[in-house]
């Protein structure tokens, strides 16, 4: 049996933080100097926990049931991922989309005092009987972790009774890590240890594992597959809309690629060390510069650079006239970007295509893996754009956006609508964002939103955000205690 992969938490990585803020040149200087430290937040709004990421990563698995060993509230966010799952089924041709089988063990005060393992056993038995799944994923939580319920022992005990169902415990207690992306690592850890184990399947020529994050929709999956087909690769797409059999095939791949610098990066390294599967970390193919880099780096790994260059030249020629025409309409506008870390950096390269200027970016994390990307952005946008490193924390975002007064906002716009700033959404699994086709699609969306600002205008006129005027006068990073501020 393979040994456990990931003992370290993401916050133990050097140069990693989920709470910092300042101009790009400041954070890059600190990071390169080896002295970037997380700031302490003295006030924080609600945040995302690693359990959410672990659930979101697996929720679209076929033939699976998901048990959250927790009070009911912990699985509240699953409804959001369930919606994406249903949309994903529709996009994949299912006209009657089903709900994910997500079940809470409904931990209560009594269980916290007396222990919840009996309730967990009952829950597992009842879901196996009802759904006969191939896999039961068992997610821990703060409460079950704090009282020491042994989900591994319960899984091992009940596994003896079931031949056709694998019971997989996932250790994703929210309190263990402030970095929600740790939830990705614990998922890959469980996949390796409980599904792949000691399997050593024969290598399939031309097969590439594509490790994709939760925000990637079917249109983008097809675009990735189309780009990779152009250089002779076929895709094992992991872990969305995946299956027990597809996960089993992970070690049979000839190569591994992730579409984000920090998704599955540790796991790809493990696959290289354990199975000799080469991998490349290339960022996300949003915007022409990021798309070129993504495919070219993969092509270098597989020795198909000429084919990739020819494909990219054809793609560019097909969309260049429309990009130029859209650029005429939207260039020169100042933009604030707010999405996931990898997608945010890539979205900032997209606005280069339209000659727009980046003034600020909010990102859940900042780490060594992104410093070069930020430096490349600084070559185009200057090194004075503001980076707000925050998991959610809309109060900081609102303060910054109000202060920087961008002409356009890329991200979820429910807050900035009320400041009257037109916006569009890029973090969505519903529409295409990848490759050259994605550049045109997003360019059209930006142009349309800038052309008709009626929604944001009306929202600003009739709706107020819940902050006092005094908050807008404060420094956006007022509630971050940074070491250097105390010197
Ligand atoms: S696991 Fe902990 S942090 Fe996550 S939702 Fe439950 S109580 Fe909150």
**Predicted confidence (pLDDT) per residue in 297-352, tens digit:** 999 999 999 999 999 999 999 999 999 999 999 999 999 999 888 888 998 999 99
Helix (H) or strand (E) holding 32, with range, is helix 24-32
Domain count within the chain: 3
Whether residues 260 and 290 share a domain: the answer is: yes
Residue 56 belongs to some domain of the structure: yes
Residue 269 has pLDDT above 50, yes or no: yes
Pocket test for ligand 1, best of 55, 66, 142, 186 (most atoms within 8 A of CB): 142
Are 209 and 265 in contact, with CB atoms under 8 Å apart?
no
* Domain termination residue (choose one: 161, 177, 193): 177
Whether residues 341 and 416 share a domain: the answer is: yes
Domain residues for the domain of 90 are 48-177
Is 31 close to ligand 1, i.e. is its CB under 6 Å away?
no
Is 356 close to ligand 1, i.e. is its CB under 6 Å away?
no
Residue 420 has pLDDT above 90, yes or no: yes
Residue 427 has pLDDT above 80, yes or no: no
50 CA distance to ligand 1 centroid (A)? 8
- List C-alpha distances in Å: 248 to 138, 251, 253: 19, 7, 10
Is 74 close to ligand 1, i.e. is its CB under 6 Å away?
yes
The residue whose CA has the least distance to atom 6 of ligand 1 is: 74
Whether residues 349 and 261 share a domain: the answer is: no
Whether residues 282 and 358 share a domain: the answer is: no
* Domain termination residue (choose one: 267, 302, 337): 302
pLDDT given for residue 486 in this prediction = 62
Which ligand 1 atom sits nearest the alpha carbon of residue 70? 6
Residue 4 belongs to some domain of the structure: no
49 CA distance to ligand 1 centroid (A)? 6
46 CA distance to ligand 1 centroid (A)? 11
Phi first, then psi, for residue 249 (nearest 5°) are -80, -5
Residue 141 has pLDDT above 60, yes or no: yes
42 CA distance to ligand 1 centroid (A)? 20
pLDDT tens-digit readout, 72-129:
999 988 888 899 899 999 999 999 999 999 999 999 999 999 999 999 999 999 999 9
pLDDT given for residue 7 in this prediction = 57
Residue 377 belongs to some domain of the structure: yes
pLDDT given for residue 2 in this prediction = 47
Are 20 and 39 in contact, with CB atoms under 8 Å apart?
yes
Mean pLDDT of 398-426: 93
119 CA distance to ligand 1 centroid (A)? 19
pTM of the model: 0.92
- List C-alpha distances in Å: 308 to 132, 349, 373, 437, 463: 45, 20, 22, 16, 49
Which ligand 1 atom sits nearest the alpha carbon of residue 172? 1
Whether residues 358 and 456 share a domain: the answer is: yes
Whether residues 333 and 468 share a domain: the answer is: yes
Pocket test for ligand 1, best of 68, 79, 173, 176 (most atoms within 8 A of CB): 173
Is 177 close to ligand 1, i.e. is its CB under 6 Å away?
no
Helix (H) or strand (E) holding 363, with range, is strand 357-363
Mean pLDDT of 217-229: 95
Is 55 close to ligand 1, i.e. is its CB under 6 Å away?
no
349 CA distance to ligand 1 centroid (A)? 34
pLDDT given for residue 10 in this prediction = 81
Share of the chain above pLDDT 70, in %: 97
Residue 481 belongs to some domain of the structure: yes
The residue whose CA has the least distance to atom 5 of ligand 1 is: 74
Which ligand 1 atom sits nearest the alpha carbon of residue 77? 5
105 CA distance to ligand 1 centroid (A)? 14
Whether residues 144 and 212 share a domain: the answer is: no
Burial grade of 102 (CB within 10 A; 0-12, 13-18, 19 or more): buried
Residue 191 belongs to some domain of the structure: no
Whether residues 465 and 334 share a domain: the answer is: yes
User: What are the percentages of helix, strand and coil residues in the chain, rounded to 5?
Assistant: 50, 15, 35
The residue whose CA has the least distance to atom 7 of ligand 1 is: 142
Helices (H), 217-367: 218-229, 244-248, 265-275, 288-302, 305-330, 341-353
User: Who has greater pLDDT, 483 or 375?
Assistant: 375
pLDDT given for residue 3 in this prediction = 53
Share of the chain above pLDDT 90, in %: 79
Residue 199 belongs to some domain of the structure: no
Is 142 close to ligand 1, i.e. is its CB under 6 Å away?
yes
Whether residues 147 and 285 share a domain: the answer is: no
Whether residues 170 and 230 share a domain: the answer is: no
Are 389 and 365 in contact, with CB atoms under 8 Å apart?
yes
pLDDT given for residue 419 in this prediction = 95
179 CA distance to ligand 1 centroid (A)? 13
Whether residues 164 and 54 share a domain: the answer is: yes
151 CA distance to ligand 1 centroid (A)? 16
The residue whose CA has the least distance to atom 4 of ligand 1 is: 174
The distance between the two most distant Cα atoms of the chain, rounded to a whole number of Å, is 68
Whether residues 328 and 471 share a domain: the answer is: yes
Residue 22 belongs to some domain of the structure: no
Residue 458 belongs to some domain of the structure: yes
435 CA distance to ligand 1 centroid (A)? 36
What is the CATH classification number for the domain harbouring 283?
3.40.50.1980
147 CA distance to ligand 1 centroid (A)? 14
């Amino acid at each position: 049996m393979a040994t456990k992969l990931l003992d370290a938490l993401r916050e133990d990585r050097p140069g990693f933080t989920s709470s910092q803020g300042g101009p790009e040149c400041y954070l890059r200087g600190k990071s390169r100097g080896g002295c970037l430290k997380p700031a302490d937040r003295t006030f924080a709004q609600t945040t995302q926990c690693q359990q959410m990421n672990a659930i979101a990563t697996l929720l679209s698995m076929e033939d699976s049931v998901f048990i959250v060993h927790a009070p009911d509230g912990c699985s509240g966010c699953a409804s959001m991922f369930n919606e994406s799952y249903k949309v994903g089924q529709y996009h994949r041709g299912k006209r009657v989309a089903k709900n994910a089988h997500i079940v809470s063990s409904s931990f209560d005060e009594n269980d916290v005092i007396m222990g919840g393992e009996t309730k967990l056993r009952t829950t597992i038995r009842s879901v196996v009987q009802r759904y006969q799944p191939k896999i039961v994923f068992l997610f821990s939580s703060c409460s079950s972790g704090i009282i020491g319920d042994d989900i591994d022992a319960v899984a091992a005990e009940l596994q003896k009774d079931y031949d056709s169902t694998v019971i997989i415990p996932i250790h994703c207690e929210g309190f263990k890590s402030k970095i929600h992306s740790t939830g990705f690592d614990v998922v890959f850890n469980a996949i390796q240890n409980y599904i792949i184990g000691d399997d050593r399947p024969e290598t399939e020529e031309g097969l590439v594992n594509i490790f994709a994050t939760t925000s990637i929709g079917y249109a983008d999956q097809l675009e990735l597959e189309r780009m990779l087909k152009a250089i002779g690769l076929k895709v094992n797409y992991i872990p969305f809309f995946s299956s027990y059999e597809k996960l089993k095939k992970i070690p049979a791949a000839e190569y591994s690629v992730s579409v984000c610098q920090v998704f599955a990066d540790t796991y790809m390294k493990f696959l290289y060390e354990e199975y000799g599967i080469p991998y490349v970390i290339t960022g996300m193919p949003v915007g022409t510069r990021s798309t070129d880099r993504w495919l070219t780096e993969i092509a270098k790994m597989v020795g198909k650079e000429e084919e990739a260059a020819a494909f990219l030249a054809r793609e560019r020629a097909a969309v260049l006239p429309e990009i130029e025409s859209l650029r005429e309409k939207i260039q020169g506008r100042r933009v604030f970007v707010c999405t996931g870390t990898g997608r945010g950096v890539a979205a900032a390269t997209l606005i280069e295509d339209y000659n727009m200027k980046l003034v600020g970016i909010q990102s859940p994390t900042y780490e060594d893996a992104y410093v070069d990307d930020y430096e490349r952005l600084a070559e185009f946008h200057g090194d004075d754009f503001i980076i707000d490193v925050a998991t959610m924390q809309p109060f900081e975002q609102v303060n910054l956006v109000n202060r920087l007064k961008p002409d356009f906002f890329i991200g979820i716009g429910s807050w900035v609508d009320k400041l009257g700033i037109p916006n569009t959404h890029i973090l969505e699994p519903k529409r295409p964002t990848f490759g050259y086709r994605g550049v045109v699609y997003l360019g059209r969306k930006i142009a349309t939103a800038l052309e008709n600002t009626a929604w944001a205008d009306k929202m600003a006129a009739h709706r107020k955000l819940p902050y006092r005027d005094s908050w807008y006068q404060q420094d956006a990073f007022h509630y971050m205690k940074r070491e250097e501020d105390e010197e």
